[in-house]
């Protein structure tokens, strides 16, 4: 059993990005749109700002009130699309219910879409035409590669089918020749599927949902969940019990979350290098 050290890998990725940023002859800048004051989103955005500052990438936060108008957000994104000094645009999710999230995301110019959530960029990923992927999905792959976990031919279960995590992770691992079962809230006999998985990726937002009964012996367990229970942060996996059974497990906090932010920095760089 081993517990993955997210901090160490995040530091390594950040130092590599910082080196690359130094070599560029232009400044990079991330513009983030934050609607409302969701405490989790506020925290994530602060983490992104700090990460950018650590590696020498400029950062601009554009706030809208919870009750803002769709047209105003769309107009702002169009402005950012036109600004040459803005290299990457991110709309922090979730958005308030009254906004049309799909229209807002698709307003972002694909060459500034750092989250890889526009139809154009996500479509390329789904067709296997590009490795550019949403930060968390890219982070899951990075963790597996850094931990020297073989992917080709392995059985993977991804639990959760969100556009941010589950769906792109399934595409990325399929592209890396895994056999992927994409499971979700309507999946029947979930346990039967997860128990067969050599690699289990969990992103369903239910605290400690995955108990050891769901896990194959010596499996690799990647916990993407971030939940707050009684003021404490925990993942979607029952860490203490599952860690005894797993070959490798990512803790929460200190696992995937650390890597997601570093992959955002890497994605900013990739947009600039047009290596998507």
Question: Which residue ranges make up the site for ligand GUN (CB under 6 A)?
Answer: 44, 90-93, 115, 135-136, 164
Query: Would you say 165 or 242 has its CB closer to ligand GUN?
Result: 165
Q: Is 148 a catalytic residue?
A: no
Q: Phi/psi class of residue 131: alpha, beta or left (left: φ > 0; alpha: ψ in -120 to 50)?
A: alpha
DSSP annotation string for 48-109 = HHHHHHHHT-EEEEEEE-TT--HHHHHHHHHHHHH-TT--EEEE-SPPPTTS-HHHHHHHS-
- Of 113, 115, 198, 236, which one is the catalytic site residue? 115
Q: Is 189 a catalytic residue?
A: no
Yes or no: say if 98 and 66 are a contact pair by the CB < 8 Å rule. no
Query: Would you say 20 or 101 has its CB closer to ligand GUN?
Result: 101
Distance CA 144, CA 177 (A): 13
Angle at 258 between CA 142 and CA 26, to 5 degrees: 80
Q: Is 162 annotated as a binding residue?
A: yes
Nearest to 95 by CA among 120, 70, 113: 70
Query: Would you say 115 or 198 has its CB closer to ligand GUN?
Result: 115
Nearest to 253 by CA among 234, 236, 239: 234
Q: Which residue is nearest to ligand GUN (CB)?
A: 93
- Of 76, 92, 236, 266, which one is the catalytic site residue? 92
Alpha helices in 147-198 (DSSP H): 166-175, 190-194
Smallest gap, in angstroms, from Cβ of residue 201 to ligand GUN? 15
Question: Which residues is 179 bridged to in the sheet?
Answer: 155
Distance CA 61, CA 158 (A): 33
Smallest gap, in angstroms, from Cβ of residue 250 to ligand GUN? 16
Q: Is 205 annotated as a binding residue?
A: no
Q: Is 115 a catalytic residue?
A: yes
Smallest gap, in angstroms, from Cβ of residue 251 to ligand GUN? 18
Query: Would you say 92 or 262 has its CB closer to ligand GUN?
Result: 92
Q: Is 160 annotated as a binding residue?
A: yes
Smallest gap, in angstroms, from Cβ of residue 235 to ligand GUN? 15
Query: Would you say 4 or 44 has its CB closer to ligand GUN?
Result: 44
Smallest gap, in angstroms, from Cβ of residue 188 to ligand GUN? 28
Cα torsion angle, 3, 55, 94, 166, sign:
negative
Which residues are part of the catalytic machinery? Answer: 48, 92, 115
Binding residue positions: 160-162, 226
Binding-site annotation, residues for NADP(+): 160-162, 226
């Amino acid at each position: 059993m081993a517990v993955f050290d997210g901090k160490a890998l995040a530091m390594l990725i950040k130092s590599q990005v910082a080196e690359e940023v130094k070599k560029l002859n232009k400044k990079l800048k991330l513009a983030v749109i934050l609607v409302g004051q969701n405490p989790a989103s506020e925290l994530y955005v602060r983490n992104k700002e700090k990460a950018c500052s650590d590696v020498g990438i400029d950062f601009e936060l554009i706030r809208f009130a919870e009750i803002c108008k769709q047209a105003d957000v769309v107009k702002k994104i169009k402005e950012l699309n036109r600004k040459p000094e803005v290299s990457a645009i991110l709309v922090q999710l979730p958005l308030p219910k009254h906004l049309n999230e799909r229209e807002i995301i698709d307003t972002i110019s694909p060459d500034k879409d750092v989250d890889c959530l526009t139809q154009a960029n996500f479509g390329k990923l789904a067709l296997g035409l590009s490795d550019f992927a949403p930060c968390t999905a890219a982070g899951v792959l990075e963790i597996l590669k850094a931990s020297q976990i073989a992917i080709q031919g392995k059985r993977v279960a991804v639990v959760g089918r969100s556009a941010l995590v589950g769906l792109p992770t399934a595409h990325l691992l399929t592209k890396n020749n895994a056999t992927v079962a994409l499971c979700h809230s309507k999946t029947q006999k979930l346990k039967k599927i997860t128990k067969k998985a050599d690699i289990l990726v969990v992103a369903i937002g239910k605290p400690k949902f995955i108990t050891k009964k769901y896990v194959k012996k010596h499996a690799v367990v990647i916990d993407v969940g971030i939940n707050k229970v009684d003021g404490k942060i925990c993942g979607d996996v029952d860490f203490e019990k599952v860690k005894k059974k797993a070959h490798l497990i990512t803790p929460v906090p200190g696992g995937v979350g650390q890597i997601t932010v570093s992959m955002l920095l890497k994605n900013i760089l990739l947009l600039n290098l047009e290596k998507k």
